Amino acid sequence: MTLEKHKYDVVIIGAGGAGLRAAVEAREAGLSVAIVCKSLFGKAHTVMAEGGAAASMGNVNDNDNWMVHFRDTMRGGKFLNHYRMAELHAKEAPDRIWELEMWGALFDRTNEGKISQRNFGGHEYPRLAHVGDRTGLELIRTMQQRIVALQQQDAKEHGDAEKNMKVFAEVTITEILKENGKIAGAYGYRRESGSEVLFQAPAVVIATGGVGKTFKITSNSWEGTGDGHALALKAGANLVDMEFLQFHPTGMVWPLSVKGILVTESVRGEGGILTNSLGERFMFKYIPDVFIDKYADNEAEADRWYEDQDNNRRPPELLPRDEVARAINSEVKAGRGTEHGGVFLDVSKRLSAEVIKKRLPSMWHQFYELAGVDITKEPMEVGPTCHYVMGGVEVEPDSAAAVGVPGLFAAGEVAGGMHGSNRLGGNSLTDLLVFGRRAGKGAADYVKANGANPVSDAAIEKAAAKIEAPFTSTGGENAYTLHQELQEITHNLVGIIRTGAELTEAIEKIADIRKRSGNISVTGDRKFNPGFHLAFDLDNMLLVAESTAKSALLREESRGGHTRDDFPGMNSTWRQVNHISSFDGDKVSIKSQPLPVLPKELFDLFDVHELEKYMTSAEIAKGGSN
Amino acid sequence: MARTLKLRIWRGDDKTGGLQDVTVEANHGEVVLDIIHRVQATQMGDLAVRWNCKAGKCGSCSMEINGKPRLACMTQVASYPEDEVITITPLRAFPVIKDLVTDVSFNYKKAMEIPAVVMPEGMKPGEPRMQQVDVERSQEFRKCIECFLCQNTCHVIRDHEENKKSFSGPRFFIRIAELDMHPLDMLRNRKKTAQEEHGLGFCNITKCCTEVCPEHIKITDNAIIPMKERVADEKYDPVRWLGSKIRRREEVL
Ligand SMILES: Cc1cc2nc3c(=O)[nH]c(=O)nc-3n(C[C@H](O)[C@H](O)[C@H](O)COP(=O)(O)OP(=O)(O)OC[C@H]3O[C@@H](n4cnc5c(N)ncnc54)[C@H](O)[C@@H]3O)c2cc1C
Ligand code: SF4
Ligand code: SF4
Ligand code: FES
């Protein structure tokens, strides 16, 4: 078989919100772009996002602005965020949303005809632009149609729609290629035929999304296998803070087959309340000290907030996700859970059936069709589900360039730093747009300055040999079985509550599975063969799991999406530390690196008394860097 | 709770293939996609199927279950009687690649043929003002998850490969309707091109597309019929169309 070869200026791995936004930017900068994705065009995981996209447009409450958004993001992340990413995100998010509207998106409207914004956990003002509860679909369809629009222009001007930008759907990238220490391209296979594809390009943007499938109970689609995290590690880039995983507090818990599927936070944003099996509205018991002045400690005030947000504190159901997830976990552990091990979430008491169906149409649908529950009349049963990875590729905030690998860029969920130890709902969709655009621009600038970097035959042969391996192996291991074993380990030992002993055990067990995965044999041939596909996905998940478990073992505190039973409190000294994962071809190792210090002008945006809750007295005395 | 399920799954590629009998366990609450995954993990490691979200949101897992076009992730096993053999086959209107996976590139080609939204000249980001009632009509069509079940079921192309060239299908009629009703879109003649270039005239309003749409989009009532009616209008009075657009543009500015 002759090898399929392509030459582009930029190869973008991933067709979710981040990848597509990067593609548009690089293309508009005059470069040729390949977009590569594992699924059909328009199906990426972004399509599942429900609640909305956070941007301080101030359409509903004009007190909102980028500084308030920045503060909320830093608080949500427990101040472990890379401040520069949080700053850029807060400043640029409104422009990115308005731009979508110019490309045809139709968001829900306010009475004045502006883009409507809804409340969400951790956001001080109504901030999430949304379309019912299918915002991700609107985002991805708009981007998809923007790409088509640019291709139509090329068709008109050059007679070839795919002259400057082409989508390679159902292609999996297995390796990022380098020559002379710089990016030279990417290598992979077509899922349909199993045949191999070479992309030669001096710049590669990784936009592969999350890692949820490493866990047993997750809201993520099958694509969330951490490919980009692993590809980056193997290409010599670093991952930052992989211990931080977001367990979304409300996933479905019953029936078993839908366990983990997301119940959007908008249910709580629209007034849904959480109760345990005793009928107690338990969240009032779980308001942490750092949030005491922002959240109501009694039902009357919490209820008033829906009518009058200026004079009441918000209901504790809207605390950041890590808090709510831990609270639910505690209630269930204390024996106050529902029959199927969750708690109740009820929106039927506050809203009429008509309003529920209008504002939460896909939730209604999802429960009615999959669980036989009518949420306009009955409560839902919910519990935590692995949802989002805060950790990811270490990047330069302004250009999204991966630290240490010239020509490599990363954006979206696969990039680390932006969300610190915990992401606020709605901040991902705008993160995709803000940093997707920056990655596209970063890649374009890089290519203009550096030019082509040809791939050597040796590199091609090496990449090809790896793809063939599972077919020639006679080891007899089954990829499906190993995947299930890995999911049990991560679920039981690296889950929502962790201990040093369990993490140590997990690290050993993951290493063992990794060894066995070298013996995976695949049945059937190369043509659309899911067993073969899984063999590669599994290799990536194993690296991610190793990085997560090792980082988690080192961090001896509890913060955001990392809770240690043996180190329950947050510790200001640990806040100054990022964990950097790197890979030597054999194992992942972790080193500590100082967190970039908040510059004075951003430091001054906060009340010092608030910062005292997070920072050491030395840091407070210094008052930020200059 | 578990029950034993008898399935017949189509296996093969573009050249050969046939139905294979499989017996597999099913648990309470499981959907057909769960069962296919169990078959994959335990009996047929290389059984090809597309899926992503397993929550009815991405439109990847389209197939025919007992001859009906459906999303496998939204089809409860319990909706079939205990003793019924469930037959699972790929979408019929598109060429098979392998097993349950078909070549749906036809749809992406048709998408390319519909001109993108054209914004009013000079309008800047952040400026648009639109009322909820005005965006709602197009929003209904933007719910489409591109599962292509409507395309698969439409008799104009289901067994008539020859019509594909001149017929874009219900998915793309709603796309045209969406743009036509989009409060900001300035491109004229969308309805006319639906008729002349996308084969709206082939549609004889059987409503089969609406019946299979998992998003419950009223494809026929809200998109096809209004376009057919107004195409008839426009043929006689293009000025009226222009008038309505201009008025709408003033409203939004
Ligand atoms: C159910 C759910 C609801 C959510 N709701 C919200 C919300 O309301 N608001 C919000 O802000 N966030 C939300 N999120 C989070 C948000 O949707 C995701 O973080 C975001 O969509 C990730 O986008 P992305 O562009 O980084 O990657 P994705 O959309 O995950 O796309 C990844 C792309 O990379 C491709 N890819 C991966 N590996 C490879 C490979 N090896 N080779 C080739 N291609 C590859 C995939 O095919 C895919 O195209 C939600 C998440 C879930 C699961
Ligand atoms: S109503 Fe028209 S488009 Fe829909 S299935 Fe029938 S013929 Fe096809
Ligand atoms: S209109 Fe309905 S049936 Fe047709 S592709 Fe869209 S969601 Fe599927
Ligand atoms: S898997 Fe997404 S719709 Fe079925």
Q: Which of B46, B55, B146 has its CB closest to that of A529? A: B46
Rounded to a whole number of angstroms, the distance from the CA of A7 to the nearest CA of chain B is: 23
Q: For chain B, how big is the Rg over CA atoms in Å?
A: 21
Question: Which pLDDT band, with edges at 50, 70 and 90, does B1 fall under?
Answer: low
The answer on A294 and A271 residing in a single domain is: yes
In a domain, A517, yes or no: yes
With respect to residue A581, please indicate whether it lies within any of the assigned structural domains: no
Same domain, B46 and B144: no
Dump pLDDT digits (tens) for B181-208. 999 999 989 999 999 999 999 999 999 9
Point out the residue among A255, A362, A480 whose CB comes nearest to the CB of B28. Answer: A255
Per cent of chain A over pLDDT 70 is 100
Which chain A residues are within 8 Å of B109, Cβ to Cβ?
none
CATH number of B76's domain: 3.10.20.30
The alpha carbon of B221 and the centre of ligand 2 are apart by a number of angstroms equal to 11
Are residues B13 and B132 both part of a single domain? no
- DSSP secondary structure letter of residue B223: I
3-state DSSP call for residue B155?
Answer: helix
* CB neighbour class for A136 (10 Å; exposed up to 12, middle 13-18, buried from 19): buried
Residue B71 CA: nearest ligand 4 atom is 4
pLDDT at B243 over 70: no
For testing the chain A interface, which of B52, B71, B180, B190 should be mutated: the one with the most A CBs within 10 Å?
B52
- Rounded to the nearest angstrom, the distance between the alpha carbon of B99 and the centre of ligand 3 is 22
Cα–Cα distance between A183 and A200 in angstroms, integer?
9
Same domain (yes/no): B24, B84: yes
State the first-to-last Cα distance of chain B, in angstroms, to the nearest integer.
60
Same domain, A470 and A544: yes
One domain for residues B81 and B112? no
Residue of chain B with shortest Cα separation from A169: B105
Strand B3-12: give its sheet, edge to edge.
B17-26, B3-12, B86-89, B62-65, B68-71
Nearest CA to ligand 2 atom 5: B154
For chain A positions 171-200, those within 8 Å of chain B (CB to CB) are 192
Tell me which residue has its CA closest to atom 7 in ligand 3: B144
The CATH number linked to A52 is 3.50.50.60
Task: Mark whether A177 and A299 lie in a shared domain.
Answer: no
B98 in ligand 4 pocket by Cβ < 6 Å? no
Active site residues of A: 248, 268
**Same-domain status, B131 and B226:** yes
Q: Whose CA is nearest to atom 7 of ligand 2?
A: B203
Cβ-based neighbour number of residue A518 at 10 Å = 12
- Chain A residues 488-547 with a CB less than 8 Å from chain B: 522-525, 527-532
Name which of A416, A464, A483 is nearest A206 in CA terms: A416
Same domain, A113 and A176: yes
Number of compact structural domains in chain A: 4
Task: Determine the residue of chain A that is closest to B30 in CA distance.
Answer: A257
Residue A626 has what pLDDT? 66
B200 pocket-lining for ligand 3 (C-beta < 6 Å): no
Helix A135-158 × helix A83-102 angle, to 10°: 70
Q: Which residue does chain B place closest to A368, by CA atoms?
A: B74
Residue whose C-alpha is closest to residue A535's, from A550, A509, A513: A513
| Number of domains present in the structure of chain B | 2
| Residue A365 and residue A327 share a domain | yes
Using CA atoms, how far apart are residues A68 and B202, in angstroms rounded to an integer? 55
Same domain, yes or no, for B109 and B226?
yes
Instruction: Say how many Å lie between the CA of residue B145 and the centre of ligand 4.
Output: 9
Q: Which residue of B has its CA nearest to A367?
A: B55
Ligand that lies nearest to the alpha carbon of residue B145, given by its number in the listed order: 3
Using DSSP, state whether B3 is helix, strand or coil: strand
Assigned domain for A584 exists: no
**Closest among A411, A405, A428 to A19, alpha carbons compared:** A411
For chain B, what is the total number of helices (H) and then of strands (E)? 10, 7
Contact B104 A40 (CB under 8 A): yes
Q: What is the pLDDT of residue A527?
A: 86
Pocket around ligand 2: residues whose beta carbon is below 6 Å from it?
Answer: B 154, 156, 170, 203-209, 219-220, 224
Last residue of a domain, one of B102, B129, B144: B102
- Identify whether A184 is part of a domain: yes
In a domain? residue A585: no
Write down the pLDDT at residue A290: 84
Give how far B160 is from chain A: nearest CA, Å. 25
The answer on pLDDT for B21 being more than 50 is: yes
Q: What is the pLDDT of residue B231?
A: 66
The β-bridge relationship of strands A392-393 and A408-410 is: unpaired
Question: What are the residue ranges in chain A where pLDDT is below 70?
Answer: 1, 626
Out of B42, B53, B128, whose CB is closest to A47? B53
| pTM of the predicted structure, to 2 decimals | 0.94
Same domain for A17 and A164: yes
Nearest to B31 by CA among A351, A362, A404, A372: A372
* DSSP strand pairing (A171-179 vs A577-583): unpaired
CA A257 to centroid of ligand 1, rounded, Å = 22
- Whether residue B80 is found in the same domain as residue B138: no
Range of the domain at A291: 255-385
Give pLDDT, residue B230.
73
In this structure, what CATH number is given to the domain that contains residue A558? 1.20.58.100
Q: Hey, of B3, B11, B27, B58, which one would you mutate to test binding to chain A, going by the most A CBs within 10 A of its CB?
A: B58
B114, B84: one domain: no
Ligand 3 within 6 A of B219 CB? yes
- For residue A212, count other CB atoms closer than 10 A to its CB: 28
Chain A residues with CB-CB distance to B98 below 8 A: 192, 527-528
Which pLDDT does position A1 carry in this prediction?
A: 65
C-beta B211 within 6 A of ligand 3? no
Q: Tell me the pLDDT tens digit for each residue of A536-564.
A: 999 999 999 999 999 999 999 999 999 99
Bridge partner list, A245: A389
Q: Is residue B240 predicted with pLDDT exceeding 70?
A: no
Same domain assignment for residues B129 and B236? yes
Domain end position, chosen among A348, A363, A385: A385
| Same domain assignment for residues A154 and A47 | yes
Our mutation pick for probing the ligand 4 site, out of B34, B58, B101, B212, counting the most ligand atoms within 8 A of Cβ, is B58
Average pLDDT, chain B: 90
Cα–Cα nearest to B168, from B153, B182, B181, B151: B151
CA distance A527 to chain B (A): 8
The pLDDT of residue B253 is above 50: no
List of chain A residues whose C-beta atoms are within 8 Å of the C-beta of residue B108: 41
In a domain, A593, yes or no: no
Q: Number of helices and strands (H, E) in chain A?
A: 18, 20
Ligand 1 pocket check for A260: Cβ under 6 Å: no
Q: Are residues B86 and B188 in the same domain?
A: no
Are A226 and A139 found together in one domain?
yes
What residues 262-291 of chain A have any CB closer than 8 A to a CB of chain B?
Answer: 262
Rounded to whole angstroms, how far apart are CA atoms A407 and A530? 31
Q: ipTM, 2 decimals?
A: 0.91
Are residues A549 and A470 located together in one domain of the fold? yes
pLDDT on residue A258: 85
Phi-psi region of A343 (alpha: psi -120 to 50; beta: other; left: phi over 0): beta
For residue B56 and ligand 4, the question of a CB distance below 6 A is answered with yes
Q: Which of A39, A98, A113 is nearest residue B131 as measured by Cβ atoms?
A: A113
Q: Do A137 and B74 touch (CB under 8 A)?
A: no
Residue B2 has pLDDT above 80, yes or no: no
- The residue out of B80, B102, B124 marking a domain boundary is B102
> How much distance in Å is there from the Cα of A223 to the middle of ligand 1?
8
Q: Last residue of a domain, which of B102, B123, B140?
A: B102
CB A275, CB A342: distance < 8 Å? no
- Whose tokens are 């050597």? That residue is A456
Judgement on whether residues A356 and A467 belong to the same structural domain of the protein: no
For a ligand 2 pocket test, name from B167, B200, B219, B228 the mutation site with the most ligand atoms within 8 angstroms of its C-beta: B219
Q: Pick the atom of ligand 2 nearest to B153's CA.
A: 5
Contacts of A362 in chain B (CB under 8 A): 56-57
Cis peptide upstream of residue A288 (ω within 30 degrees of 0): no
Same domain, B123 and B220: yes
Nearest CA residue ID for atom 8, ligand 3:
B147
- What domain range includes position B47? 3-102
B249 confidence band (pLDDT: 50, 70, 90): very low
CA A81 vs CA A177, A391, A435: distances in Å: 30, 10, 15
Question: Are the C-beta atoms of residues A184 and A200 closer than 8 Å to each other?
Answer: yes
Residues facing A247 on adjacent strands: A386
Domain containing A272 — which CATH number?
3.90.700.10
C-beta atoms of B112 and A155 within 8 A: yes
Judge whether A579 lies within some domain.
Answer: no
Tell whether ligand 3 has an atom less than 6 A from the beta carbon of residue B31: no
The enclosing domain of B195 has a CATH number of: 1.10.1060.10
CA distance A567 to A374: 41
Verify that A241 and A316 share a domain, yes or no: no
CB < 8 Å to A473, chain B: none
pLDDT tens string A2-51? 899 999 999 999 999 999 999 999 999 999 999 999 999 999 999 999 88
Q: B53 and B9 in one domain? A: yes
The per-residue pLDDT for B252 is 39
Please indicate, yes or no, if residue A535 is contained in any of the structural domains. Answer: yes
The atom number, within ligand 1, closest to the CA of A426 reads: 11
CA distances from A378 to A39, A337, A351 (A): 36, 17, 12
Question: What is the per-residue DSSP string for A157-204?
Answer: HHS-TTSSEEEEETEEEEEEEEETTEEEEEEEEETTT--EEEEE-SEE
Predicted confidence (pLDDT) at residue B40 exceeds the cutoff of 60: yes
From A10's Cα to the closest Cα of chain B, the distance in A is 23
